[in-house]
Structure 1
Amino acid sequence: LGIGTFKMASPGYLTLMHLGTDGLGRQPNEPVAVKRMYVRRAMPTEANPNGWAINRLTAPDEYRKTLMEANILLWADSIMDLTYSFIHHSIENSAQPPPFEIPEVRFVHAGVAVVHRQITGPVTASTSTLCRTYHIEELIDEQKEGFYKFINNGSAVPL
């Protein structure tokens, strides 16, 4: 699907044992964007002096940073819901509607998938089966759903 400022996105499918009622996982074999974090490493060549390569994070760093991003998205979505609740409450209690249209925006539905290795030897207190962590997002058909991307992770400047 593409490469961004600090994540690479690939197509995937999500199937949950119990389907959800909203957000991700409402349908079996749901198409999703599977994203994995990376860091850029300078790798200049003669043909491309500004070249770079992708370095993957260690499994614990990838897990920690992916969960942090998911937590921030969860809080942002909650704050957005509170904002719209306040707006709708204010409009209901106002004598007249606002003189402008209030846009309805939202964050993408997202989740986290964690991959573990199978334990093959003796288990100790320091044994970790953590292998990799993925950020899972809904796929949005821009033409069909009237999607418009306002900002991205590379810059806070509106697009």
Structure 2
Amino acid sequence: MIGIGAFKTAHPGWLTLSPIVSSSLGSCSQHDVVVKRPFYRVPPTSQAAASSLKIVRYSSVDELKHVLKESIVMYWAKSLLNYTYDYIDHHISTSPTPLPFEIPHVHFVDAGVALGYGQRITSSKPGEKSNTKAGTVLAIYLLEEHIVFDDNQEFTNFIHNMDYMPSLDEDQYGYDLAIFLTFTQHIQYVQNEGLVSVLDYQGIYHSALLNTPFHED
């Protein structure tokens, strides 16, 4: 396990598609991915049990609902970010003067939904023969692009999920990117008349500001 959050566990994995796609997840054989799966916590039954974490997986039907909901949120987050860059590019192209600063180039992690199939043995009464059902969906996973770090990068929370202001101070590394992300929120909120904007920006930052991946929670 890579880690555990409030609602999902994260595990290392790899993805091979047939045929291999030209870009994004599955663009190479055994593509490194992060495999995420939702869970819920079981309330402790005693004070001793409260010190340990017990998690339970959802049924395949409910698990599919949770994973699809998360994938749809990521789809819209990507769409809103693409719209923001289209908005920026339009105004740059119509400006009579060149831009006096660089625009950060960021993206959300690529993601997809994977269904795990297998054989499930249906239990029967004692003494009776058990039945095996082939082709049963046993688990549903959210696959995400694996964020790779180098010596000049660190995982950062740029904007909290309960605020629209940067989580960083002005003298902290990455503050300029956090300011840009608040700008994207402003554009999204104004252009869709207050219906939606993306919160909880977390990811890596590089001084070159090129192809910086984020994930959305």
Q: TM-score, normalised by structure 1?
A: 0.80
Say whether residues 1:53 and 2:60 are aligned partners: no
Name the CA distance, whole Å, in 1 between partners of 2:77 and 2:42: 30
Alpha-carbon deviation of 1:145? 8.2
- Counterpart among 118, 131, 135 of residue 138 in structure 2: 131
> What are the Cα deviations for residues 12-56 of structure 1, in whole angstroms up to 9, with x where unaligned?
110001111221011101111111101122337656745431111
Count of matched residue pairs: 155
The answer as to whether partners of 1:9 and 1:33 remain within 8 angstroms in 2 is yes
Deviations 1:1-21 (A, max 9, x none): 111121101101100011112
Shift of the 106–145 alpha-carbon distance from structure 1 to 2, 3 Å rule, reads farther
Counterparts of 2:7 and 2:35, CA distance in 1: 13
Cα separation, 1, equivalents of 2:48 and 2:119: 43
* Cα 1:149–1:10 shift into 2, 3 Å: same
The equivalent of 1:63 in structure 2 is 64
Residue 21 of structure 1 aligns with an amino acid whose one-letter code is S
- Provide the rounded CA distance (Å) in 2 between the counterparts of 1:116 and 1:59: 11
- CA–CA separation in structure 1 for the residues paired with 2:18 and 2:93: 41
**Residues 7 and 37 in structure 1, CA contact (< 8 A), matched pair in contact too:** yes
Q: Note if contact 1:45-1:51 (Cα within 8 Å) is conserved in structure 2.
A: no
Gaps of at least 5 residues in structure 2 are: 122-130, 168-217
CA RMSD after TM alignment: 3.1
Contact 2:7/2:39 (8 A) holds in 1: yes
State the structure with bigger RCO (CA 8 A, min sep 6), 1 or 2: 1
The CA distance in 2 between the partners of 1:90 and 1:147, in whole Å, is: 32
- Give the distance between the partners of 1:144 and 1:3, measured in 2 at CA: 24
> Which residue in 1 is equivalent to 2:171?
none
Structure 1: unaligned runs, 5 residues or longer: none
Query: For residue 96 of structure 1, what is the amino acid of its counterpart?
Result: T
Cα offsets for 1:119-141 (capped at 9, x unmatched): 88699xxxx82211000011111
> Partner amino acid for 1:15?
T
Distance 2:157 2:76 in 1: 19
